Amino acid sequence: MDDNGQKSPPQSIVIDTPQNQTEATLTNTPVLSGTATTYVAQQPIIIVDDSPPYKLLWTSFILIFLSTLFPFLVTDMDFGINLDDIMCFVLCNGNATGLILLGTFFVKLASWKKRHGGGLTAGISVLTAIFSFGVAALFLFLYSIFAADEYFNF
C-alpha cells in the first residue's frame, strides 16, 4: 500500500496480445505457449499475481492430520484382520506424502519471496522445506524397515 491507500501492483508482468493487428510486427524469437507472437509498440500490460498455491499448503496439513489421526482411531477396533500393517502404512506414507507437499509449497514460497525482495524469509522457507523433506525421508525409511521386517522376516 502506498500513502494514498492504494494497493501497489506486483512486480511480474505479462504482455497481452496486440489490440490492432495492422500495427503488429512479427518476431522470430521463441515464445512460451499461450503468449503472443506479435507485439505492438503501445501494448497494454497485464499484471499477474504469482503467489504460491495455498491449496497445496492446506492439502498437506489435512493429509498430515488425517494420516496421524487414523492409527489412533482404529487402535481398539477389531475388524478380524491385522491392522498393524495398515496403520504403519498410513502413518508413515501419509505423513511422508504430506511433508513432501509441504516442502514443495515452501520451495515455491521461497522463490516467490526471493523475487519480491524477502531475503530472510526466503531463507527460512528453504530451511523449512529442507526440514520437511528430511522428516519425510525419515518416515519412508521407517516404513521400509517395517515392511522389510514384515515381509522378509529379518
In a domain, 134, yes or no: yes
Same domain for 118 and 75?
yes
Instruction: DSSP for 32-43, please give it.
Output: -TTS-SEE-TT-
Q: Is residue 2 part of a domain?
A: no
Q: Which helix (H) or strand (E) holds 97?
A: helix 84-115
Q: Name the range with the highest mean pLDDT among 4-13, 49-58, 77-86, 106-115.
A: 106-115
The per-residue pLDDT for 12 is: 60
Q: Are residues 27 and 61 in the same domain?
A: no
Domain of residue 104, residue span: 54-152
Domain tally, the chain: 2
Selected residue with higher pLDDT from 103 and 31 = 103
pLDDT, mean over the chain: 77
Domain membership flag for residue 39: yes
Does residue 67 lie within any of the structural domains? yes
Nearest to 88, CA basis, from 108, 105, 68: 68
Residue 152 has pLDDT above 70, yes or no: no
d(CA 150, CA 154): 8
Interatomic CA distance for residues 51 and 18, integer angstroms: 26
34 and 73 share one domain: no
Which regions of 21-138 does DSSP assign to beta strands (E)?
25-26, 38-39, 45-47
**pLDDT tens by residue, 37-95:** 555 555 565 556 677 888 999 999 999 999 999 888 877 777 777 777 778 888 899 99
pLDDT exceeds 80 at position 22: no
Question: What local confidence, expressed as pLDDT, does residue 105 receive?
Answer: 94
Give all strands (DSSP E) within 48-122, no chain letters: none
Residues 43 and 72 grouped into a single domain:
no
**CB 132, CB 102: distance < 8 Å:** yes
Any domain includes 25: yes
36 with 71, same domain: the answer is no
In a shared domain, residues 32 and 65: no
- 107 and 77, same structural domain? yes
Q: Cβ of 60: how many Cβ atoms within 10 Å? A: 21
Asked if residue 24 belongs to a domain, the reply is: yes
Within a domain: 61: yes
Q: Are residues 97 and 118 in the same domain?
A: yes
Grid coordinates 496486440 are at which residue? Answer: 18
